Structure 1
Amino acid sequence: MSVLVVSGTNTEIGKTVVTAALAAAALAQGRSVAVVKPAQTGVAEGEPGDVAEVRRLAGDAVTGVELARFPEPLAPDRAALRAGLAPVRTADVELAVKRLAAEHDLVLVEGAGGLLVRLDDRGATLADVAGLLDAPVLVVAQAGLGTLNMTTLTTEALRARGLACRGVVIGSWPAAPGLADRCNLADFPEAAGAPLLGAVPERAGTLPPAGFRRTAPDWLAPALGGTWDAAAFAAAHG
């Protein structure tokens, strides 16, 4: 079963665009791809959510599944409670992902916010989902000041739970990187205890979909289906 869980060190750092890039790179290799969003928050009924954005950027060949939706932009447990709706349960996520994995080469599971954001009233998190699926976690991080601390906290939480960290991808690499951004390229692997596997340019999600699909493999390392080289990227921004 080829499943990859995509988590952030925080919210609004580029998880959805990274997920779309992963899907586009896999499709370019001829692989079938499904994307699962266990809980979509902050989006009203009928409005496009993260799954729709992944399919817009990566293409309609992506199978998209959203398991629960809550209108207020809150953690899923609180958003479900305030909406008077049933929360998403980890067992439901596990079942949906395993069904999709039986029919697809790659299933990407995109979390909501950070790794330990609560999904339900029992305190379940995306880390619990990864454990049930026995799936590695890809951490999406910010580029600049403060990101090493958040990345370290996230990867330490993974290791404490016996979960594998596939690596780190920078979710929004600035067009004009500052000193902290550039220094962090060398420091991410030590902070995370895992390799730096890509850097997605800021505003990549505003590219025309055809351009996004064509360019996405350039942002990801070979381990993620792309051609991005960490050493060459660091040298270019040294």
Structure 2
Amino acid sequence: MSNERTTADGGMETAYGFREVGQGEKQGLVNTVFHRVAERYDVMNDLMSGGLHRLWKDGMVSWLAPSKRPGYRTLDVAGGTGDIAFRIVDASRGAAHVTVLDINGSMLDVGRVRAEKKGIADKLTFVEANAEELPCEDGAFDAYTIAFGIRNVPDIEKALSEAFRVLKPGGRFLCLEFSEVDTPLLDRVYEAWSFHAIPRIGKAVTGDGEPYRYLVESIRKFPNQENFAAMIRRAGFSRVTWRNYSGGIATLHSGWKI
């Protein structure tokens, strides 16, 4: 498979990094990756982004501006370790209830332990489920967030449709994801760092570089800013916009259910 960036027309369903896999095979392979990295996932995020992922996530929750009124409900998808959920609870001054949904039980286990240590377990519900088939009622949530997870979903359009379904009218969709660097020279530096350094760091820290090779390749296969925004619009969202962080290394996409 080519390492060129894919388009909004698809290509992710059978792309396991740069490898082409059979229909239905990708999810199992991705699950294995995250079982292998769960315990060191946040440490590796620091190493992979130079700590910038923390600022990007802060920016995501700041743009969400969660309500401080009781009853505000957020669904955080692919958020097993709790990074986004904890920030939402803090930003809402404890008013928000966050359902943390992840297909990977190992990631959720890490999140549960962290929530207990923070003393906010009562503000969170942890659910093991698939983003393509959410076990949630229509119009159940005020906001849907997903950070660095949607590119690992085989059928992204189905996941976006599900996001639209479970949001209330007036609900907010926010997706933080690695994207296409739009700054000259930075793109070359970032690519060299990604493909050469990150798998080696992963192996040094976790003893296994292969999962990080997949994570890097999956970033390259993910649609760029314009193409992903088009997918969000096709799912039914309005007022679709995005913000680039760090020259486009990461992008925060926003849409509203109107």
TM-score, length basis structure 2: 0.38
Q: Which has the higher helix share?
A: 2
